[in-house]
Amino acid sequence: MSIIFNKTNKKTKYLHPVFSIIFAMGVLVLTGCKFQSEPASLQRIIDRGYLTVGTLYGANSYYIDAEGPAGFEYELARKYAEYLGVEIKVYPSYNLDELFTHLDNHDVDFLAAGLSVTDKRLKKYDFSPSYDVISQKLVFKQGNVRPRKLDDLTGNFVVVANSSHEEHLENLKKANGKLTWHSDTSLDNEELLLQVLNGTIDYTVVDSHLLAISRRYYPDISIGFTIKKPEPLSWVVNKYGDDSILASMVEFFGEAHHDGSILALDDKYYGHVEKFNYVDTQAFLSAINKTLPKYQPLFEKYGEDIDWKLLAAISYQESHWDPKARSRTGVRGMMMLTLPTAKQMGVKSRLDAEQSISGGSKYFKNLIDRIPDRIGQPDRMWFALASYNVGFGHVNDARIITQQQGGDPDRWVDVKSRLPLLKQKKYYKKTKYGYARGDEPVHYVENIRRYYHTLSYFDDKVKKPTETNIVTSLNLTN
């Protein structure tokens, strides 16, 4: 199946993910499943006005959300298409076998799917410059006996067939003949994680960046040990294609690393999941089940112009959804408003949940409106969140410092590294608003992004009743 997007990220047609899949499958049947079926070349891409990319459905590579196509790999491939001045045509697959078959048959120009550079693959394919580094983690279910080395594996061990995980296990088996596992061709990494959680299997191997995201809603996934140390991720190109494609990728990645595009993209998808707190994650999942249902209608009512899940995430960070919450500095209520802010937003009682949520929503929208129009999403949202915590003036001071140091003042990933400088006298004495605990808004934004990500995940599950309710079925909140 293929999905075409133009250079401005406007889809030719948007359908619900289920219907878009059915529609795309129908299109393939009607067209006889015709692909390009000849070796790729840069000139061919330029002449026809689009590039074809093979990828995998999944949280890291490619998926459809409310706004359309998303995923680290998709966005990076789209930037490459923009670099070439062409559109992008996506061929998403459900498994590695299908993905590599598309490349072998010249159905796609290259693969962008979070693929590791391995010895076995190097014999058959060419690779672009690396854009990220991951490690392989052996995982098990929290509460079971933790395996600390290969000799400790006593249960059912399953990995994705033809993956870099399987290839590495084959190499390990040469030195450890007793090592056994099963390779599954029908399940992907995320599905194997669920099988670990429900007890169907005991162990699997997962890449570190997927694990970091998955533990936000599946905290009972625990790490046994690192089965393979960091390895590069790259795009995969057919050896029998035109070398000009690989040459253009070298230039593209050089530019993308230099201008910070890859760093910004990495922060967008993984910047909020670098640290994991088991207790906090479990507490949040429990609150989603037990407390959120009482206040969700209010978040939905006053979060229409924002996204009720983001408003709820702010509130959880502020008060843990406690309408009587109070801090030592005098802020109170669900949205922890100061008395002056509450009066400005028309809130008569900060302890009234509805008034607090309404006032907090208005205040946050005001902060968003103060962010310069040239700053796009999601950076615009992160700047507004930081302002909710430390004040718009301090955030602006950090943006000025960022610019003075040669960074991009309109990019959150650049500014968040300078916010902590507001604690140092040699920096804050030259700012308009002076001293601030600048590390706090950085943690504040990261926490809210994690909560928002988790709420979005479960809200999506609710909207797809044919899928299993993970919170209930896996009993994650006990």
**226 in Cβ contact with 159 (< 8 Å):** no
Q: How far apart are CA 190 and CA 56, in angstroms?
A: 12
**165 in Cβ contact with 205 (< 8 Å):** yes
Q: How far apart are CA 76 and CA 367, in angstroms?
A: 30
Instruction: Tell me, yes or no, if 170 is annotated catalytic.
Output: no
Q: How far apart are CA 91 and CA 107, in angstroms?
A: 9
The whole-angstrom distance between residue 354's C-alpha and the CA centroid of its chain comes to 31
Angstrom CA distances, 42 to 108, 128, 245, 269, stand at: 12, 14, 5, 29
Question: Tokens for 478?
Answer: 């006990």
* Concatenated DSSP letters of 356-377: HHHHHHHHHHHHHHHS-TT--T
Beta strands in 269-414 (DSSP E): none
Q: Which residue carries 């001071």 as its tokens?
A: 397
Q: Which amino acid is at 400?
A: I
Query: Is-cis flag, bond preceding 378, omega within 30?
Result: yes
List, in sequence order, every residue forming a beta bridge with 140; answer none if it has no partner: 222
Question: Tokens for 282?
Answer: 């479990």
- 10 Å Cβ neighbour count for 227? 20
**235 in Cβ contact with 150 (< 8 Å):** no
Question: Tokens for 476?
Answer: 């994650």
Q: Which of 75, 87, 318, 446 is catalytic?
A: 318
The whole-angstrom distance between residue 311's C-alpha and the CA centroid of its chain comes to 19
Q: So which residues are the catalytic ones? A: 318
